[in-house]
Structure 1
């Protein structure tokens, strides 16, 4: 049974209230833009990090800014910090916690302590765990505010570079995974769909709302669980590549055989087998490499 921590609910309300909860855009200039990773002018590099049983995606944007989507479980926090430092990161311009499960946010408190953060995005949902409460306290301690993550929020829209949230599309779900922030990331002719743990209900909503889901690279939802990657959704995305983030020998049996069957014919990478999976694009073509740390 999950221990209830009313303070987490109060703290989230305060952090959201001070930031404003409507759709927001961050297309204007950011402070301290010199504090970025190595020069990526004209290139976008998307790193799907091997964090064991969890998710973490690091994006070096072609304008020199950095985005981090999730930070894996608590025990992966130091590894994610070290990976970003090795890449020359001093500032994270966009930090996104897709939803409050520990395998996505556990390492994020370490990230907040070690890097300058410009914007934090989280869905409007509370979760009664100490890991979640610790993250909220860490955000507050650093003087940061939370921007509400929901469909229609534009993180970036500048020239050929765009990052838009296309889920969650509802205010209340029974399953926490369906609160997952889903991001469509586009640069030039290339696209990535980052789905968090969004399940079939959220997928149906994205389809019903008429979003353009087509992308070259699909981050497969919910670590390859049968609960995600419905046939209609996969047909709409039509990816050339797919990435499953999961831990070797995990207790959930991820990825499930049913999902692997659906992905037949699509080039598949798995962090449990391939380690870190890195895509690089100039907006025209894609190059992919893998590395085990």
Structure 2
């Protein structure tokens, strides 16, 4: 995510921004979200007031590891939830490194399978882990923080446009509501038009 977008976030919600680790601090004492600098891709680390850690996407390559190291306390070895919004390399590749390096409590994916060696490598890391297939009835609660999946409405089988398999989710904690949309395109936006999408901040796709 580029600096201009962080400046827009700051203007909209009045937040403090530190660019060294691309930190955006939202509602101090309620929720902290780190929009990690992983190059041309997405990775968002959410830390709840209770200290739970949720990583949404991992960007390309392994830059996410150094970004996480710059955010979490030295010696941190656990991430409570990893979310892969959709299996494109610029969201997925870094998560392979994360799964190799960290103890991960649970993993949320949008597709049970997909072609490609990289997704096969990702799926191979999920053996023996707690894995959830995204649908709108899926949610996770960490203390006072709720992760609510809004899309897909039901489990996705096969799909041509992987962007439109993106997990759309809302993170709610106290008065903070943040909408994360992966790389969902206009077709998904149309499907969601009648849903409750109320949020204080939306992280749109980078495409």
TM-score (normalizing by structure 2): 0.78
1:174 and 1:183 map into 2 onto residues whose CA distance is 21
Q: Residues 98-123 of structure 1: CA distance to partner in whole angstroms, max 9, x if unpaired?
A: 11100001011111121111111101
Counterpart position of 1:128: 115
Q: Which runs of 4+ in 1 moved over 4 A?
A: 84-88
How far off is 1:187 after superposition?
1.3
Quick check: 1:216 aligned with 2:200?
yes
Counterpart position of 1:147: 132
How far off is 1:200 after superposition?
1.0
Q: 1:82 aligns with which of 42, 64, 69?
A: 69
Query: Larger relative CO (CA 8 A, sep 6+): 1 or 2?
Result: 1
Quick check: 1:204 aligned with 2:204?
no
Q: Residues 226-268 of structure 1: CA distance to partner in whole angstroms, max 9, x if unpaired?
A: xxxxxxxxxxxxxxxxxxxxxxxxxxxxxxxxxxxxxxxxxxx
Counterpart position of 1:47: 34
How far off is 1:79 after superposition?
2.5
CA RMSD of aligned residues (A): 2.1
2:172 and 2:98 map into 1 onto residues whose CA distance is 25
* Structure 2 residues not aligned, in runs of 5+: 1-27
Q: 1:64 to 1:122 in 2, by over 3 A?
A: same
Secondary structure of the corresponding residue to residue 65 of structure 2: helix
Counterpart position of 1:236: none
How far off is 1:42 after superposition?
4.0
Counterpart position of 2:59: 72
Secondary structure of the corresponding residue to residue 147 of structure 2: strand
1:113 and 1:196 map into 2 onto residues whose CA distance is 23
* Structure 1 residues not aligned, in runs of 5+: 1-40, 226-293
1:135 and 1:119 map into 2 onto residues whose CA distance is 14
1:188 and 1:145 map into 2 onto residues whose CA distance is 27
How far off is 1:76 after superposition?
2.3
Quick check: 1:178 aligned with 2:164?
yes
Contact 1:169–1:205 (Cα < 8 Å) also in 2: no
Contact 1:71–1:80 (Cα < 8 Å) also in 2: no
Q: 1:68 to 1:149 in 2, by over 3 A?
A: same
What is the aligned residue count? Answer: 178
Q: Residues 164-203 of structure 1: CA distance to partner in whole angstroms, max 9, x if unpaired?
A: 0001125354311111111101111121101111111111
Contact 1:95–1:119 (Cα < 8 Å) also in 2: yes
Q: 1:169 aligns with which of 153, 157, 176?
A: 153
2:126 and 2:67 map into 1 onto residues whose CA distance is 18
Q: 1:184 to 1:76 in 2, by over 3 A?
A: same
Of structures 1 and 2, the larger Rg is shown by 1
